[in-house]
Amino acid sequence: MNTQTNTTSEQDTATQIFAGALVLADGSVFEGEFIGAQPQGKPFSGEVVFNTSLTGYQEVISDPSYAGQIVSFTYPHIGNYGVTDLDQESNGSYVRGIIVRDLARRDSNWRSQGSLEQYLIENNIGGLGGLDTRRLTRILRDVGAMPGAFGPIEGPNSFDLAELKQAASDEPGTDGIDLVEQVTCSEPYTVGSGSKNVVAYDYGIKKSILNQLANFATVTVVPANWTAEQCLELSPDGVFLSNGPGDPREVPYAVETVKQLLGKVPIFGICLGHQILCLAIGGTISKLPYGHHGANHPLRNELTGEVEITSQNHNFAVEKDSIEGVAEITHINLNDGVCEGLRLKDGSAFSVQHHPEASPGPHDSAYLFIQFKEMMN
């Protein structure tokens, strides 16, 4: 009887639910149920964006590119297949919080090593469930990504709506901030044992990208602030510029490094690396209203005419006219015409805005890693 009573008590504690709320910087209020880790003295805050992926929530949450952001999932059921170490994209989780319509009460999958909510607690990530994510998405789509703050509004560690509104107003978002320095590695490390020697700049690199490169290369991952001189001392066959969070205009040290590497070694960039390459060749970057976040974005390969379905995660984009004469556009987003890829006229470097490693997402663009290998040959 004592065992039965203790089990019931533990279940009651584990399932105790408190109301929570999200307040956007424009004053919009959304109420739901607080989930995940408890706040530590202040509300959770960040730039609120929406992601349209149907699966891959763990890969999204553990992607360093989401540093500084609160991610709202448009797909209604999140957490139904649990979490596993195999799907982790980094050694930590940099997302500021998550918002879901329906958090699965139990996980059901042979790969699962635990529930999503327990994962949130272990990684100090707060969240809100039971929210009207359709209404939230419509606001962000019409007005654009904006700062927000959330937390419990009842029970221990709770906040009132005025405190959440103030936290949302104080949140700077991702503009004008160097978020790369928060996610890059502190020391170089090596992955893989392939025949090619690749130096990968870590602006927030994903493990799935490293796995792709390791198929044919010995990859030395280096901090974002490594100089071109330090890089060339490793005698690389090629240099990879990784994905990462935030405003590419706030990492001038990375842009300067790429300028000095151009023409000396083949270069391949993805996501933030694509934007940094653009700046290095004299192009300009602008911020999109609400960005591209999802695993179902169509684009056209301008070199082949083929349509590819891609995984994307970015708030900034290359202005097409700014690279005219220096690079050719290789890929175009079919939703809004944004530049999704470029190739330098001299053939020394190329980059794409989308994620060919596809974690999560389709594998239509995986051929780009083979192109990089062939380029080094």
Question: Which parts of 167-306 are beta strand (E)?
Answer: 189-191, 196-202, 217-223, 238-241, 267-270, 285-301
How far, in Å, CA of 242 to CA of 25, rounded?
31
For the question of residue 231 being annotated catalytic, the response is no
How far, in Å, CA of 299 to CA of 354, rounded?
9
Q: Cβ neighbours of residue 209 under 8 Å, at least 6 residues apart?
A: 200, 240, 242, 243, 270, 355, 357
How far, in Å, CA of 97 to CA of 304, rounded?
40
- Token digits for 36? 């995940």
**Distance in Å from the first CA to the final CA of the chain:** 71
**Catalytic residue among 292, 297, 331, 355, which?**
355
* DSSP state for residue 157 in the 8-state scheme: T
- Token digits for 7? 């089990």
Sheet holding 217-223, edge to edge: 189-191, 217-223, 196-202, 238-241, 267-270, 349-352, 339-344, 327-333, 285-301, 307-318
**Catalytic residue among 231, 271, 278, 339, which?**
271
Residue 231 one-letter amino acid? C
Question: Beta strand pairing status for 285-301 and 307-318?
Answer: antiparallel
**Catalytic residue among 47, 89, 340, 357, which?**
357
- Cα-based angle 29, 35, 37 (whole degrees, multiple of 5): 115
For the question of residue 354 being annotated catalytic, the response is no
> 90, 62 in Cβ contact below 8 A?
yes
For the question of residue 271 being annotated catalytic, the response is yes
| Residues taking part in catalysis | 271, 355, 357
